[in-house]
Structure 1
Amino acid sequence: MTDRHADNGGLALRFASLGSGSKGNATLVSDGETHVLIDCGFGLRETEKRLARLGLHPRQLAAVLVTHEHGDHIRGVGALARRYDLPIYLTTGTWLSRRLGEVPHHRLLVPQVRFAIGGLEIDPVTVPHDAREPVQFCISARQRRLGVLTDLGHPTAHVIQAFSGCDALILECNHDPRMLAEGPYPPRLKHRVGGNWGHLANGQAHALLRQIGMDRLQHIVCSHISEQNNRPELAREALIPLLDGDESRLVIAAQDKGFEWQVVA
């Protein structure tokens, strides 16, 4: 299978989602020549099907980057790596969680230390989240920069600095605090989700974007939206005031279909 998207409009930094939410997460990033998958929270067959929808075969992937060891991010990583002999990049803490099983190749990345895969330059950024050694990623190519920032308990000064200057940003809008408080989760889980090591609320995403700055952002994606504790329209309403009337920049990532390829001009 050829990558029909890589030939559509020439080489450019582009990104797409296989799906986003508590049932599974996976994000594709490509410069038209090198394709990497960030996380794989879906089973092998479902991953293959979702990749095909976006015009890629797993054999075209150069690597899988792993943010942390929670099941909605790694469920399919081991099987995908074993089936297609893919290298896995992850932190030492994530590797020592022993949640991946046997994989053919693993490369230990160091937070805050840039590395390259093909034409993609990748910055792993430490984030506050209740995992062993979680990171999120900034990826640069073609003089453009994409931030992938989900599973974040609260916006730290370090995170704000690391993700400033992006041309596109995939940002967690996990929950609405009122829906979380009134929802079905047990108290301990509510405290975890809404705490400083859990997930971003809509209002926190708004505040983080204000601090990062909107001038360069061509695309803003609301991602990791909770099906129990949020609604897409609430996430959208939280960010619209920052867009100066240009809502075309805003994309909602869905659990079932993710979102289609976005090109950073």
Structure 2
Amino acid sequence: MSRAPAIEAVDVRRSYDLGAEQVHALRGVSFTVSDGEYAAIIGPSGSGKSTLMHLLGCLDRPTSGTLRVDGRDVAALSDAELARLRNEAIGFVFQAFQLLSRSSALDNVALPLLYRGVPRAERRERAEAALRAVNLGHRLGHRPTQMSGGEQQRVAIARALVGEPRILLADEPTGNLDSRNGAEVMRILEELNAVSGVAVVLVTHDAEVAARARRQVRVRDGLVELDTAAANPAQEPVPDPARGGRVAAAGEERA
């Protein structure tokens, strides 16, 4: 039996009551994300893309329609089940990094494994491997305040991937970075996507960042205005997952 898509949205709608007014943030969104895809969600402010990202990250539920993440219907899950799904199937990368300022890079990355009940020795081993995978093996004991913005975002990527999620959601991952660090972060996301087969979905205002994705989903007024997957359904084959592969440093020769 074939595996369910990583994400499946069918006529997803989300409305909010603001006093006497009802705001329709999403008005019937449908699309599917398969394992190993690399997609960018783009659109102007107020288009509904942030609401969509919250739904995909199981931080909210649809008002109507069907949203399945890792094969599970989000609307049918309890709060505890949603939290478990987020921890096990989804990795998050935020614009503002969201790191614990007083904790080391190693402890920040190990945190999702702590919530899973993974033993301390295994947590530290896996966190170290994840940091080495983003070329931060020399920064294990450093706190975020001792790192550049680009390094902090790479710690955040390592934290998102340490639990080997099926889906990586990145919300404006280059928004707080200069062009050089932003390009490095994007290169790492792209290589990790190719190596591990994790499905990457990012939200961005940056047209250059969106253009690097193999698929663009443009949202406007709560609807999908354009999905390039519909025009180009054939994608490159997804490699078998090879978790733990180190990402080559900038300028380093690749095999």
- Same fold, judged at TM 0.5 (above): no
More helix by share: 2
Larger relative contact order (Cα-Cα within 8 Å, sequence gap ≥ 6): 2
Name the TM-score, length of structure 2 as normaliser: 0.32
